[in-house]
Each structure stands twice: as C-alpha cells, then as structure tokens.
C-alpha cells in the first residue's frame, strides 16, 4: 500500500510540489488543501483553508496521512507543525519558534548579528522619527535605505527606497498608517547592498542539511525591473554568477552558521532554508530567509530535481537527513508568470483561459490563481499561471517558454518579456 500525502496550499508552488511528489513510486494518494484546478488530476482537493489548523489535523488523523508538506508561510508561523507533532503526525516544515526566521525580520537580523552571519547593517525601530533619522543618515552617506515591516506582509512589506523621501514615506506607511497591521509594529531600516540577488535553497533536519540549487526571481511587475514589487513574475535556475566556489561560500558562511545558530537558540530548524542573498563584491550577504519553498522559484526547482523528493522530505521531518544532496538535472529551467491586468493592484477575475491544450507535451504549466466556472478554466487571482520550460541552457529554455506563451490567452493577460534575460548578457 502506497503512502498518503497532504500538501497544504493553493498556489503555483503547491502545484509544483504536488506534481513532483506524484512522481514518487512510494506515493499512492495525494490530497491538497485547498488546492486548485490544476492539481485536480494529481490530487484530491479539499475545502479546508491553509490557516484552519484544527481541521487539517483532524483530516490528517482520520485519513492516516503519512506526510504533510506545508507550502505557504502563514500556517507555519501559526504553529501548524507544533500542532501536528503534538498529534503524532509527520509534517515537513519548521515549528513556530523556528519559523520566526521568516516570520520576524527583527528576530532573523538579530540572529545574523549575534552569530556573525554576513548581512547589511541595520537598526530596528518602533518610533517613526527615529527610523527616519537613520534612513536619512544612510541616504546622505550614499548607502541607500531599505525599509522592512517586521512581520509577514505577503511579500510586499519591503521598500527599496530610491531616496530619503521614499524611505520616509515607507516608514510612515508601515509604522504610522499600519498598512500591514501588526506586522508593522516594528520596522527595520537597513543599508541597501549593491550586487546581484540570488535565491539559494537547502533542506535541513535541524542539524544536517542537503543543498538543492540556486535561482533568480524577478520581483518587479514590469520589464527591466520597473514598477512595484509583486509575489514574483518569473524565475530561472542556476544563473551565470552561481558556480561551485560561490556555492561553497554560501554554505560555509551562511547556511551552516544559520543551522548552528538556530540550534544554539534552542529552536532547531527543520524544513526548507530559502536564503535570499545579495552577491556583493565582498561576497554573499544574507538579505532574509523564507521558511518554505519560493514562489515562483519552486516552479523551476521541482523539474530540476532528479529522482524522488519524498525520502528527503521525510528524513528532514524525522531529523535523520543524510548528507547526500539529490542529483540535479542538467540544463536549465525558466518560468514566466502570466498575471491578471492590474496586478499587483486591483484586477478583475473570471476571464476564460484559452490555449493550454495547444502547448507542447513537455511544457509544464503550474496553476495559481485559477478556478472552474461552468466547466471552463478562468482567472481567479493576481498571478494566474506559471509557464515552465526546460532546455539545455538558459537561453534555450527562455526561447522555448516564450514561444509557448504565445499560444495562451486570457483578457488583460500581462507578463514580463525579459525573464532570464540577465543570464544572456
């Protein structure tokens, strides 16, 4: 009898996890809570919200779920792992105290400072004027300022200020106007590092870890990194700046010290360590951690992992992860997000999505903001789909994915046309 898996979440990241886990010879049945129409061929979708922890525990108990995999950050910070473990249910992800690595930027930055993990210089404030004074100091000295809400803000609580006026406005928005509610009770103001951003992924069992691979995300809504930040408009794997030397530097200076620091703090970290890095002329610097797979990074990571992901997730959850990293496929993977017109601001829903039946068989589409209406697939969110292509190189994968996108249409469809173009320079 095969294993039963529960994947929590409804976005493209969770669709990618379901897609990958469905390939495991050990898996018999996958449930997704709440899931989306794209997952329905691979998993049974449940009408349970990601934050309804008690209902998820009850379902996992009743169905004798062998492993639960948490996709989004919200249930992690709510303590879903603690609740599952108390019920003797196996779950992949950090407990609430360890999830503070993402849930509180103040906690994580203080951890970096205490244990000498390289990061930007920063200060934490509860008073707007003091925060503005520090931001002015940074900008007047040519460093630039980044303003961050302490808590979770759906990927939108960070402002890279072009000047002091923008930094001051961001501080007022977070601390005074409470744009992000309690997530903005504290604000972090830090030096704006110069370099190239990189996302790096590893899986830890609290003591050991396996490294996966690196990716680059495209946060801004428009080409050439213009416009407001989004949840992510596309990603690609192993950009040119990422090599074995840089990988070893990331592991020894950032990943390994973080795992040891979390042990020393009495909250060992089990789960995905998603490090948001800036690769500066002085080496890698940690900007922030996420306590789960990225979105849309997961959509390019999952196709690149060769073999079975399930044993790695189970071993991490059990605390007995070996040191053998999974084999990574050759070549590259590029994902482009198709978004609703108006996103990340207001947008309309309910537009029919056409052309998915015309795609090449090796093109992967991970659904996110979709719904079924009268038997037809329609838009139901800001980020609607991620179209993914694999090829022998980044330029080849980029060409392939954009050729496939031309076959897809829905009203007011918007996407960036320069995803992975940095890799071609």
Q: Are 151 and 183 in contact (CB under 8 A)?
A: yes
Q: Based on the domain organization, do 51 and 151 belong to the same domain? A: no
Q: Based on the domain organization, do 187 and 202 belong to the same domain? A: no
Which residues constitute the domain of residue 294? 196-318
pLDDT tens column, 6-64: 999 999 999 999 999 999 999 999 999 999 999 999 999 999 999 999 999 999 999 99
128 by DSSP, 3-state: which? helix
**What is the pLDDT confidence band of residue 317, given thresholds at 50, 70 and 90?**
very high
pLDDT tens column, 98-121: 999 998 889 999 999 999 999 999
Tell whether the model's pLDDT for residue 319 goes beyond 70: yes
CATH code where residue 353 lies: 3.90.600.10
143 by DSSP, 3-state: which? coil
* Residue tagged 């008073």 (tokens): 127
pLDDT tens column, 214-238: 999 999 999 999 998 898 999 999 8
Q: Based on the domain organization, do 283 and 202 belong to the same domain? A: yes
19 by DSSP, 3-state: which? helix
| Cα gap 210→182, rounded to integer Å | 35
| Cα gap 367→353, rounded to integer Å | 11
Tell whether the model's pLDDT for residue 154 goes beyond 70: no
Q: Based on the domain organization, do 169 and 217 belong to the same domain? A: no
Total domains present in the chain: 4
pLDDT tens column, 164-212: 988 998 999 898 889 888 888 889 999 999 999 999 999 999 999 999 9
Q: Based on the domain organization, do 164 and 229 belong to the same domain? A: no
The pLDDT of residue 323 is 66
Q: Based on the domain organization, do 156 and 77 belong to the same domain? A: no
Q: How many Cβ atoms sit within 10 Å of the Cβ of residue 143?
A: 17
- Say if 394 falls within a structural domain: yes
What DSSP line would sit under 200-263, residue for residue? EEEEEESS-EEEEEEEEE--EEEGGGEEEE-S-SEEEES-TT--HHHHHHHIIIIIHHHHHHHH
pTM of this structure? 0.93
What tokens appear for 338 in the block?
């198709």
Q: Based on the domain organization, do 148 and 212 belong to the same domain? A: no
Query: What angle is formed at CA 199 by the lines to CA 32 and CA 17, rounded to 5 degrees?
Result: 15
| Cα gap 285→275, rounded to integer Å | 10
Cα 210 to Cα 154, 200, 201, 312, distances in angstroms: 27, 12, 9, 9
| Cα gap 156→263, rounded to integer Å | 30
Residue 239 burial class via C-beta count within 10 angstroms: exposed 0-12, middle 13-18, buried 19 and up? buried
**What is the pLDDT confidence band of residue 424, given thresholds at 50, 70 and 90?**
low
| Cα gap 374→135, rounded to integer Å | 53
Domain end, chosen from 80, 95, 110, is at: 95
| Cα gap 346→294, rounded to integer Å | 23
The pLDDT of residue 156 is 67
Q: Are 307 and 26 in contact (CB under 8 A)?
A: no
Query: What angle is formed at CA 239 by the lines to CA 201 and CA 355, rounded to 5 degrees?
Result: 90
* Residue tagged 């980020």 (tokens): 383
| Cα gap 33→6, rounded to integer Å | 7
Q: Based on the domain organization, do 163 and 250 belong to the same domain? A: no
CATH code where residue 204 lies: 3.30.470.20
Domain end, chosen from 138, 167, 191, is at: 191
| Cα gap 299→303, rounded to integer Å | 7
Q: Based on the domain organization, do 84 and 125 belong to the same domain? A: no
Q: Are 106 and 125 in contact (CB under 8 A)?
A: no
Domain end, chosen from 191, 225, 250, is at: 191
Nearest to 228 by CA among 154, 142, 140, 334: 154
Cα 301 to Cα 395, 397, 401, distances in angstroms: 17, 14, 16
- Looking at every residue in the chain, the average pLDDT score rounds to 94
Backbone angles phi, psi at 368, to 5 degrees: -135, -75
- Say if 112 falls within a structural domain: no
What tokens appear for 162 in the block?
């072009």
């Amino acid at each position: 009898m095969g294993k039963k898996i529960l994947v929590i979440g409804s976005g493209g990241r969770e669709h990618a996890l379901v897609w990958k886990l469905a390939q495991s010879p050990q898996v018999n049945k996958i449930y997704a809570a709440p899931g989306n129409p794209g997952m329905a061929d691979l998993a049974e979708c449940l009408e349970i919200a990601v934050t309804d922890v008690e209902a998820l525990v009850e379902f996992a108990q009743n169905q004798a779920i062998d492993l639960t995999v948490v996709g989004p950050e919200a249930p992690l910070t709510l303590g879903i792992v603690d609740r599952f473990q108390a019920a003797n249910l196996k779950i992949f992800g950090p407990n609430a105290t360890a999830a503070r690595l993402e849930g509180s930027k103040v906690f994580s930055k203080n951890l970096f400072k205490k244990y000498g993990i390289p990061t930007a210089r920063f200060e934490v404030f509860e008073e707007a004027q003091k925060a503005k004074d520090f931001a002015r100091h940074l900008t007047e000295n040519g460093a630039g300022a980044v303003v961050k809400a302490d808590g979770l803000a759906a990927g939108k609580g960070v402002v890279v200020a072009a000047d002091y006026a923008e930094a001051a406005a961001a501080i007022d928005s977070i601390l005074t106007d409470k744009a992000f509610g309690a997530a903005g009770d504290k604000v972090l103001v830090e030096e704006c590092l110069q370099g190239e951003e990189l996302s790096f992924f590893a899986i830890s069992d609290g003591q050991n870890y396996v490294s996966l691979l690196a990716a680059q995300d495209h946060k801004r809504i428009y080409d050439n990194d213009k416009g407001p930040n989004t949840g992510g408009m596309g990603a690609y794997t192993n950009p040119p700046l990422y090599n074995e030397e840089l990988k070893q530097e990331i592991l020894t200076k950032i990943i390994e010290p973080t795992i040891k620091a979390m042990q020393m703090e009495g909250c060992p970290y089990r789960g995905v360590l998603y490090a948001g890095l800036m690769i500066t002329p002085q080496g890698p610097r940690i900007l922030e951690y996420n306590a789960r797979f990225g979105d849309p990074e997961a959509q390019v990571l999952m196709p690149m992992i060769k073999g079975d992901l399930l044993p790695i997730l189970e071993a991490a959850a059990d605390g007995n992860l070996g040191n053998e990293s999974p084999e990574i496929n050759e070549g590259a993977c590029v994902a482009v997000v198709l978004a609703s017109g108006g996103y990340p601001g207001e947008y309309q829903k309910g537009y029919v999505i056409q052309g998915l039946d015309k795609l090449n068989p090796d093109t992967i589409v991970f659904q996110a903001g979709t719904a079924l209406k009268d038997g037809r697939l329609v838009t139901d969110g800001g980020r609607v789909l991620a179209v993914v292509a694999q090829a022998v190189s980044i330029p080849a994968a980029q060409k392939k994915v954009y050729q496939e996108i031309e076959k897809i249409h829905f009203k007011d469809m918007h996407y960036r046309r320069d995803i992975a173009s940095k890799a071609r320079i």
